[in-house]
Amino acid sequence: MRQNSVRKEGARSRAPHASDHGWDEGSKEPSSDAAVSAGGSRQPGHRRRRGSGGRGAPPRRRRRVLRWSATVLSVLILGTAGAGYLYYQHLNSNIETDDLNLGEHRAPEPTPNAAGQTPLNILLIGSDARDSKENQKLGGAKDTFGAPPLADVQMLLHLSADRSNMSVISMPRDTLLTIPKCTDPDDGKVYPESGPRTMTNESLGRGGPGCTVATWEKLTNIHIDHYMMVDFAGVVSMADAIGGVPVCVDKNIHSRDSRGKGSGLKLRKGTTEVQGEQALQWLRTRYGFEDGTDIGRAKAQHMYMNALVRKLRENTGLTSPNQLRKLADKATKALNVDNGLGTVKKLYDLGNELKKVSPARTTMTTMPFDYVGARVVPKPGDAEQLFRLVRDDIPLDGKGRKKPAKEKASDDPAAEDDRIAVQVQNGTRTVTEPPATGRASAVAQILAAKGFKKATPDMTTVLTEAKTVVRYPSVDLEGDAQRVAKSLGLPLSSAKKSTDVSGVTLVVGADWREGDAPPKHKKKDDRTPDSAGALSGSDKKACMKVNPEFTW
């Protein structure tokens, strides 16, 4: 079996947020406050674990959604490489692994559907760095060589429980939020919780990809099963290997401004198959697409991803077994995954799951946002709506949605109110507001006045919960939990089974920050918000709008 080893590399400092461009095309300035040099010991949060057959070169940083290309290639193709046992071991030794979640909080696991199936959530991460000669040549910006990783691409891939549909949510890299406390598993360094106006891409430098996972779980309350980070330089060769991906622009484009900034992408109006460095240019282009922001770039990345998946499913450009073996080798060298995905077999099994979804049932979205200066924050209402749809395993394409079932009272009879022990927790914190002071105590008193004499506040726990919920650990407490919900005027469906609690636990959500009773909620709207910019994986007519200042 493969054994992983850890290498650490030395550090230098740099000014925080010297540039708004992060990994931007042609950017010469960094956007974080710490750095690592190639060789030597590493800055916390940038680790490397390889088997004895792995490469000896410094770890290569991941860049943008081009990593998605490698991810798709690896999970869809690895099992078809026709490799024997030794080659299988070689591929295993290529794969880097790391811890999944470095935070203290885990989002609740989803409830299985009637068939016992559960959804699968995978966080795709790409970072902004140049820490190998190959990455440096492709990315430029020599003064950022060896800098610590920034999670400049973050995409949550949600595979439905019945494997009928897939949803992807991109988070803009400039999103301001609170990064939770994270502990680096290598050296035990503790990164305290950040302030609420911290850029989300800084999470990767606070112990590793597991802190980015922890940040997503805190923001969305979506349970994440795995993460994938993919190497930058190896992706260019993989883009070559598949023979090009078709992309479209509505005008001639040349991504280069008077200051020399831009990816250098130069295409004629219409559809072109891009590969290698040209594919990299497409995925890096910000100057020239729409309004020149990261949002337009995300749209271009979604189009590329959709076209790539369609091409892979059509099996065009990849016919030689030797070609597939080479591609599998490059793909595994590019991957950094959590420990639960650290073998070729596990990746192959995952690939088989992903292949069950057709492009027509794949939906790409961007987290709804509002601008705050040059940065963004989650858009109130719309962002939580999108997260809820994923939590509830509701397809973002609007197909196959079932009418909500009538609420059913538990077969387990409830105890007398004064005998039901209820712990009350404050879950009123949001991504934009601090927790409402004293809510656990106030609601415990409200319950006591209703006859629940054993209601007690938990003063040590502050959570982020959009809606008030009553959790219970086992079936024998379901009736008690429903009784608490009913007494407060909450629907019976707000009583949910959870292994995260040891008894009946009322979590006061952000919907009940004040007052003596939780608000009455309207019937759920299960439509995907327009602000999410949904794009179907089957849309072959999607075409990027070119900024007139960058046409030729």
Do the Cβ atoms of 395 and 463 come closer than 8 Å? no
> What is the structure's pLDDT at 317?
53
Do the Cβ atoms of 525 and 501 come closer than 8 Å? no
HSE of 239 in the Cβ direction (CA atoms, 13 Å)? 27
Q: How far apart are CA 395 and CA 390, in angstroms?
A: 8
Residue 97 has phi, psi (to 5 degrees) of -130, 160
Q: How far apart are CA 21 and CA 376, in angstroms?
A: 14
Q: How far apart are CA 185 and CA 158, in angstroms?
A: 27
> What is the structure's pLDDT at 288?
95
Residue whose entry in the numeric block shows the structure tokens 């956007």: 31
> What is the structure's pLDDT at 3?
35
Positions in the chain whose pLDDT score sits under 70:
1-84, 128-147, 231-241, 315-320, 323, 401-405
**Region of residue 489 (left: phi > 0; alpha: psi -120 to 50; beta: else):** left
pLDDT tens for residues 387-430?
A: 999 999 999 999 876 666 677 899 889 999 999 999 999 999 98
Residue whose entry in the numeric block shows the structure tokens 């230098």: 12
